[in-house]
């Protein structure tokens, strides 16, 4: 154990002294027990970042070409636009905030259709209170954020509040991506890929900044965990914050902690304790700010959400859960939902076993964790695809893809992040469906199972990373 640790520390020290970029340093493959030098990937550093950025940019251009052709043929939305209905733009942000409080808001500088739409959002939010279309299903962390935003809207123009929140979220995303790489040109390609990615565009278009904040916290926390090879307090705070927004993502920090930390049980206990503490604290704050919201109403809200967004048919292609593949044609079936959850749980158990045995690289564990989330969760919207950048960023710091399993992860992740909303249906019918709602879950599921089975069949082949520490 000590020999492997000394080798790792020595190589990291050489990288820092010689200022060799992480992606261009000869890659040391193996684990902390012993190391084996392997062939360096041809796609390291800038080359790999360029691949990611150009593939995502090209897929965006291809989808826009399809939209332009459909528009020229006289088709309207959703055929002529790859995101959600333009009439409903930014709706999630305003409708959620307007659900907490009276109809009194600060005067807005916008006029025309946008001002009218703001009034529509206010009306819908007030009208939906007491129905199954309510925000009570939101976890207390997200609820507290929305309540604070609503109070700000009473003091400041709501569109200014939205613009500032969006700018802060995007700057945080930029800073998070920059923390993974040291080369300026490499950063440029990674940021190009992030901007051209479908989940980021979709989150902004819907105004679902909470999903964006959740992804940023998850990506940042994973980086801290990856660098320290243990659960540091910044990692615990960021990862628990993300999980307390979207518990479906719990498998990601759990698998990474199990794989990377030498004190697995201790760090898992600390992580779950941090999650519980944050949940209780945010629930207390949310209830104090908005007395209607409580643990009981939250539980009832979860049941309402399931009836409204899971048990009803899916008409459009904005969900990438495996359950949606079956629901889009045959409707809701509780047996299908349970079978998909059972499959995700089985994958999680097997992946935990592999991680305990230290049988896979961090990038592979991250990919499996994200993939099983979309297998097990019956309704997970496409703005939650953004964490698929984690295995790509991990691979970059591991020296780039070098075998067929690495490339499966690369292209499956890029596939999930790429816009491909090619709608089909009758004329301009709202019942049109996108092939994305079928292809995304199938590709993600097959790739996740393939990567997991590879590590269950093969001996221990994980690799310690040269340059895991952030450049000083």
Give long-range contacts, CB 8 A cutoff, 24+ apart: 275-279.
Answer: 275/240, 275/243, 275/244, 278/141, 278/240, 278/241, 278/244, 279/139, 279/140, 279/141, 279/244
**Beta carbons within 8 Å of 118's beta carbon, 6+ residues apart:** 94, 108, 110, 158, 159
Task: Work out how many domains the chain is built from and give that number.
Answer: 1
pLDDT band of residue 3 (cuts 50, 70, 90) is very low
pLDDT of 32 reads 35
Average pLDDT value for residue range 225-229? 91
Query: Which domain covers residue 144, as residue numbers?
Result: 2-457
- Angle value at C-alpha 323, between 320 and 329, nearest 5 degrees: 95
Answer yes or no: is 463 within a domain. no
pLDDT of 386 reads 95
Instruction: Return the higher-pLDDT residue of 359 and 226.
Output: 226
pLDDT band of residue 40 (cuts 50, 70, 90) is low
Answer yes or no: is 442 within a domain. yes
Q: In whole angstroms, give the CA distance from residue 87 to residue 264.
A: 49
Answer yes or no: is 77 within a domain. yes
- 170-184, 214-228, 300-314: least confident range: 300-314
Average pLDDT value for residue range 106-114? 70
Answer yes or no: is 223 within a domain. yes
Whether the Cβ atoms of residue 405 and residue 387 lie closer than 8 Å to each other? no
Answer yes or no: is 466 within a domain. no
Q: Which of 260, 266, 229, 468 is nearest to 358 (CA)?
A: 260
pLDDT tens for each residue of 301-331 = 888 888 877 877 555 567 888 888 887 777 7
Whether the Cβ atoms of residue 374 and residue 441 lie closer than 8 Å to each other? yes
Answer yes or no: is 462 within a domain. no
pLDDT tens for each residue of 345-354 = 999 999 998 8
- Residue 149 is encoded by which pair of tokens? 């935003």
Answer yes or no: is 470 within a domain. no
C-alpha distances out from residue 313 to 146, 420, 422, 425, Å: 28, 21, 19, 16
pLDDT band of residue 81 (cuts 50, 70, 90) is confident
Answer yes or no: is 468 within a domain. no
pLDDT of 107 reads 67
pLDDT > 60? residue 428: no
* Omega of the bond leading into 414 within 30 degrees of 0 (cis): no
pLDDT of 22 reads 44
pLDDT of 469 reads 39
**Beta carbons within 8 Å of 376's beta carbon, 6+ residues apart:** 248, 340, 341, 343, 344, 345, 347, 348
pLDDT > 90? residue 95: no
pLDDT of 26 reads 43
pLDDT > 90? residue 278: yes
**How high does pLDDT run on average in the chain?**
82
pLDDT tens for each residue of 184-217 = 888 999 999 999 999 999 999 999 999 999 999 9
The helix/strand/coil state of 29 is strand
Q: In whole angstroms, give the CA distance from residue 90 to residue 178.
A: 27
């Amino acid at each position: 154990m000590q020999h492997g640790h000394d080798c790792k520390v020595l190589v990291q020290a050489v990288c820092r002294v010689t200022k060799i970029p992480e992606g261009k340093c000869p890659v040391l493959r193996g684990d902390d027990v012993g190391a084996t030098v392997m062939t360096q990937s041809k796609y390291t550093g800038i080359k790999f970042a360029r691949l990611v950025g150009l593939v995502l940019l090209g897929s965006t251009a291809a989808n826009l070409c399809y939209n332009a052709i459909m528009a020229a043929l006289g088709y309207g939305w959703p055929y002529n636009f790859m995101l959600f209905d333009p009439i409903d733009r930014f709706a999630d942000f305003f409708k959620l905030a307007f659900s907490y409080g009276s109809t009194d808001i600060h005067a807005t500088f916008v006029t025309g259709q946008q001002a009218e739409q703001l009034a529509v959002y206010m009306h819908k939010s007030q009208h939906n209170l007491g129905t199954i279309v309510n925000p009570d299903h939101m976890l207390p962390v997200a609820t507290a954020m929305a309540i604070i935003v609503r109070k700000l809207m009473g003091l400041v123009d709501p569109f200014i509040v939205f613009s500032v929140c969006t700018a802060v979220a995007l700057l945080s995303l930029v800073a998070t991506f920059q923390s993974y790489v040291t080369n300026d040109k490499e950063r440029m390609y990674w940021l190009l890929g992030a901007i051209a990615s479908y989940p980021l565009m979709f989150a902004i278009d819907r105004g679902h900044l909470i999903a964006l904040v959740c992804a940023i916290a998850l990506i940042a926390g994973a980086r801290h965990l990856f660098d320290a090879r243990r659960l540091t307090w910044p990692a615990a705070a960021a990862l628990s914050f993300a999980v307390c927004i979207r518990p479906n993502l719990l498998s990601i920090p759990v698998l990474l902690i199990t794989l990377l930390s030498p004190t697995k049980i201790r760090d898992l206990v600390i992580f779950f304790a941090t999650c519980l503490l944050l949940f209780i604290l945010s629930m207390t704050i949310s209830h104090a700010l908005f007395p209607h919201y409580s643990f009981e109403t939250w539980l009832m809200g979860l049941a309402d959400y399931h009836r409204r967004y899971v048990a009803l048919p899916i008409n459009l292609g904005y969900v990438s859960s495996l359950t949606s593949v079956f629901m889009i044609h045959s409707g809701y079936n509780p047996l299908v939902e349970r079978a998909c959850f059972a499959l995700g749980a089985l994958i999680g158990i097997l992946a935990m076993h592999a991680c305990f045995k230290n049988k896979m690289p961090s990038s592979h564990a991250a990919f499996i964790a994200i993939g099983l989330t979309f297998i097990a969760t019956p309704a997970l919207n496409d703005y939650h695809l953004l964490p698929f950048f984690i295995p790509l960023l991990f691979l970059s710091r591991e020296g780039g893809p070098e075998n067929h399993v690495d490339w499966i992860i690369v292209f499956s992740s890029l596939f999930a992040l790429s816009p491909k909303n090619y709608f089909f249906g009758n004329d301009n019918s709202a019942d049109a469906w996108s092939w994305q709602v079928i292809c995304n879950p199938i590709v993600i599921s097959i790739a996740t199972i393939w990567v997991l089975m590879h590590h269950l069949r093969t001996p221990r082949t994980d690799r310690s990373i040269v340059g895991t520490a952030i450049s000083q």
